[in-house]
């Protein structure tokens, strides 16, 4: 009998776009279409796979805060910003030579780029050059790193980033892969998961709980910038209580397992 071929984890990136509100710290989340073959119908953070053109010649020069990083990390950061723009219309970028993020009114004028980018008809560099923009990679703060367990048909090597959401950018799901969106507190997301209102997969749930240990966006960003990232690859463990998905104790999460059987 032949040994099953190991599925290689595909590089991917996602972003926790956060804001402070009267309800407390909120994060922008989207609901994936039921016909999508990964995390179907789940409440997730915007994100997706890296693309070859995310690091084509000229992209690095159109990014701020990327001095000294590898092409692999550059691809993750560019993909994070590109996917957030494609999926929810938030663009972490600046007019070239400016210290201010692009205005929401200008982002609205770039709407026509979202679909061609998502279909890979154009690369991010084409938009950046035409509009004379620079990606604000310096606004991304590394939040966590998760790898899908072996044995599954689809595996992702996903880096999570956290960023302060620009105040005047209107975040709205694309209506294609994503069918709904919401600004939500961690408490409301957890209550929605418990009631069945939302489907939240294990990595998303734990990263929400990690976010919930901070009261403000500033606190959350300061925290992750002062900790060492522990790569998380969940493991199935069977005990007398049943089967659990578990993660390392020292990974910085308030919960380290969830019952699955």
Query: Helix/strand/coil (H, E, C) string of 219-248?
Result: HHHHHHHCCCCCCECCEEEEECCEEEEECC
The strand pairing partners of 95, in sequence order, are: 133
* Superfamily in which the 10-201 domain is placed by CATH: Nucleoside Triphosphate Pyrophosphohydrolase (3.90.79.10)
What are 204-261's pLDDT values in tens digits? 999 999 999 999 999 999 999 999 999 999 999 988 888 999 999 989 999 999 988 6
The strand pairing partners of 105, in sequence order, are: none
Instruction: Please report, for residues 63, 153, 194, 258, the alpha-carbon distance to residue 235 in angstroms, rounded to integers and kept in the order given.
Output: 37, 16, 23, 11
Q: What is the mean pLDDT of the chain?
A: 91
Instruction: Please report, for residues 10, 74, 126, 203, 222, the alpha-carbon distance to residue 56 in angstroms, rounded to integers and kept in the order given.
Output: 19, 11, 11, 30, 32
Q: Which of 40-54, 116-130, 169-183 has the highest mean pLDDT?
A: 116-130
96 phi, psi to nearest 5 deg: -55, 130
**Residue appearing with tokens 């690369």:** 123
What are 12-26's pLDDT values in tens digits? 999 999 999 999 999
Residue 34 in this model has a pLDDT that exceeds 70: no
CB within 8 Å of 71: residues ≥ 6 apart:
55
Give residue 173's pLDDT.
54
Annotated domain spans of the chain? 10-201
């Amino acid at each position: 009998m032949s040994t099953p071929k190991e599925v290689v984890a595909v590089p991917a990136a996602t972003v926790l776009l956060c804001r402070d509100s009267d309800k407390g710290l909120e994060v922008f989340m989207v609901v994936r279409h039921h016909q999508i073959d990964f995390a179907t119908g789940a409440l997730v953070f915007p994100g997706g796979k890296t693309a070859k053109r995310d690091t084509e010649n000229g992209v690095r020069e159109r990014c701020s805060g990327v001095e000294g990083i590898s092409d692999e990390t550059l691809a993750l950061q560019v993909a994070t910003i590109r996917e957030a723009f494609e999926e929810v219309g938030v663009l972490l970028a600046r007019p070239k030579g400016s210290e201010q993020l692009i205005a929401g009114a200008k982002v609205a004028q770039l709407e026509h780029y979202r679909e061609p980018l998502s279909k890979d008809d154009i690369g991010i560099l084409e938009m950046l050059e035409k509009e004379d923009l620079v990606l604000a990679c310096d606004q991304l703060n590394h939040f966590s790193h998760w790898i899908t367990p072996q044995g599954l048909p689809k595996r992702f090597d996903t880096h999570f980033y956290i960023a302060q959401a620009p105040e005047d950018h209107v975040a709205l799901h694309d209506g294609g892969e994503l069918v709904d969106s919401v600004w939500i507190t961690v408490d409301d997301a957890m209550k929605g998961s418990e009631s069945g209102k939302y489907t939240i997969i294990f990595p998303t749930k734990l990263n929400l709980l990690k976010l919930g240990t901070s009261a403000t966006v500033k606190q959350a960003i300061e925290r992750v910038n002062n900790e060492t990232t522990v790569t998380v690859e969940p493991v199935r463990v069977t005990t007398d209580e049943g089967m659990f998905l578990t993660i390392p104790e020292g990974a910085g999460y308030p919960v380290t397992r969830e019952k699955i059987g």
